[in-house]
Structure 1
Amino acid sequence: MPQLVELNTFTSGAGNLTVFEKIIPGTIKRVFYIYGASEIKRGGHRHHKTWNALVCLHGSCRVYSNDGENEEYFFLDNPASCLILEPKDWHIMDSFSEDSILLVLSNEYYDQSDYIDQPYMLNQLIPQ
């Protein structure tokens, strides 16, 4: 099941510094960000081996996750919060605010064969 963690953040008169380290297994091999998505649904998959860490740097978005046993919604609206998705976590990101920027860090390079598009049978909360 996904885990929402608070990243170490240091605040001073010079602003905030938030640190991302030792959050997902392995080395970060891929970084991308989603913006301008508005009400479009993104994701709709899980992975064979990729872990992802999601941080909404600006604005907000919602993440639906289903690991085959549990399903849950997460609301990301704080750049010091990070949602960790394990490979088994089928997920959809949606409800992006107009100003949202969602940063995604992955421990694997993009590989289409790593994607599993079929959702689990348990999908009571899945966004329509």
Structure 2
Amino acid sequence: MSHFTMLSLPTFSDERGSLTVLEAALPFQVVRTYWIYGADDQTRGGHRHSHTRQALVALNGKVSIYMNDGITEETVELSNPGQCLLVEPKDWHTMTFGAGAVLLVMSSHTYDRSEYIDTPYERGVND
């Protein structure tokens, strides 16, 4: 079981394929949506936020998300589009992309570089 919040999104499957629903699943209003792709074997991120919350879904492939909230460190694997990882403002995170991975990111705020915190937590020291 993960220390970090993983949502299981409602998914409906039959012989025609699968449909996953995000409606009313997130604990915040989505203001900004983007996706990252073409990042095979690359690591991105390496920050936390002062107020932005995010929800991450691997639409295709596998993305390994390293999470650190200043107390707990964990790597969460996203490889099922029915799974959604919540990233809270305090969560330092990096994202490592597998071959062909596409990561959907939904944010609670618009982009504001000034609210990014680029300093990771020190081992054994809470922020």
TM-score (norm 1): 0.88
Shift of 1:84: 0.5
Unpaired runs of 5+ residues, structure 1, are: 124-128
Aligned-partner SS, 2:77: strand
Q: Structure 1 stretch 30-39 or stretch 12-21: which is displaced more?
A: 12-21
Map of 1:49 onto structure 2:
51
Task: For residues 33-78 of structure 1, give each alpha carbon's deviation from its aligned partner in whole angstroms, at most 9, with x where no partner exists.
Answer: 1111112210000001111101000011100000000010001110
2:109 aligns with 108
Q: Deviations over 1:11-43 (max 9, x none)?
A: 234322111133433321111111111122100
- Residues 28 and 106, structure 1, Cα contact 8 Å, conserved in 2: yes
Query: Unpaired segments of 5 or more residues in structure 2?
Result: none
Cα offset, 1:5, TM superposition? 1.5
Q: How does 1:3-42 map to 2 (within 5 A)?
A: 3-42=5-44
Cα shift at 1:114: 1.2
Seq. identity, %: 47
CA distance in 1, matches of 2:46, 2:33: 18
Report the secondary structure of 2:41's partner residue: coil
Deviation of residue 4 (structure 1)? 1.4
- Pairing partner for 2:76 from 71, 74, 77: 74
Distance in 2, matches of 1:34 and 1:47, equals 18
- Determine if contact 1:25/1:107 at 8 Å carries over to the other structure: no
Number of positions where the alignment pairs a residue of Structure 1 with one of Structure 2 = 122
**Matched residue, 1:99:** 100
Normalised to the residue count of structure 2, the TM-score between the two structures is 0.89
Aligned to 1:113, the other structure's residue is in SS state: helix
